[in-house]
Amino acid sequence: GEESMDIRTQRLCAWSGVACVVAFLAGFGLVSGFIPPPAPGASAQEIGELYRSNHVRILVGMIISMFGAAFTGPWVVAMTMQLKRIEGGLKSMSLLQLASGAVVVLEFEMCIMFWEVAGFRTDRSDESIQLINDLAFVTFIGLASTGIVQCVATAVAILKDRTVPTVLPRWAAYYNVWVALCFVPGAYNCLFHSGPIAWNGALSWWVAMIAFMSWYVVNTCV
């Protein structure tokens, strides 16, 4: 019936989270070669040469990543529907998660567009390419706040659940809090050109990226 069809649709939306991870890793990492990312301390000449030498590869990879990032939208909807079940309707936490998640989609796509612009004209000066590359990476790593709000809203909704059994397992609330904490160092990446909080650092990149990717997969499964 109509209800079973909606459940199937929600499942497809939920698994969009895994599709996002696969497409992003393929486009951003395997094709564009941005995992690991270029160092923020690299010279303008090095960044310019990176884009000129990998011009087509970077652009094609970003197009793949762009379509992958769009899968975040249905994944956020799937999460919202589960929080709606907990709250008995679209109330504060489910709406906050939806609003924050919608902004995350836009931020994700916006940063990908910056990388595409950086690779669009290979005849630009090294300094111009470096500037756009800085804009992309500082923004991508630094826009932590909306994801943090999304995680916290999810966690609060799960912890508010008084049904037996709960709609989502309580450990998922603490997991979402952990993800939120992993996002925090990235907000400070603009202060560092090297070290663990720089955009390619252990905390701002590797820990945050592992948390970010696993966040999609774990929330999809629960």
The per-residue pLDDT for range 129-138, each reduced to its tens digit, is 999 999 999 9
Residue 38: what are its φ and ψ, rounded to 5°? -65, 145
Lookup: tokens for 68: 């992958």
Distance of CA 98 to the CA centre of its chain: 15
The answer to whether the beta carbons of residues 115 and 62 sit under 8 Å apart is yes
The answer to whether the beta carbons of residues 48 and 130 sit under 8 Å apart is yes
The model's pLDDT over 84-120, given as tens digits with 9 standing for 90+, comes to 999 998 899 999 999 999 999 999 999 999 999 999 9
Cα–Cα distance measured from residue 53 to residue 31, given in angstroms and rounded to the nearest whole number:
13
Lookup: tokens for 185: 């160092």
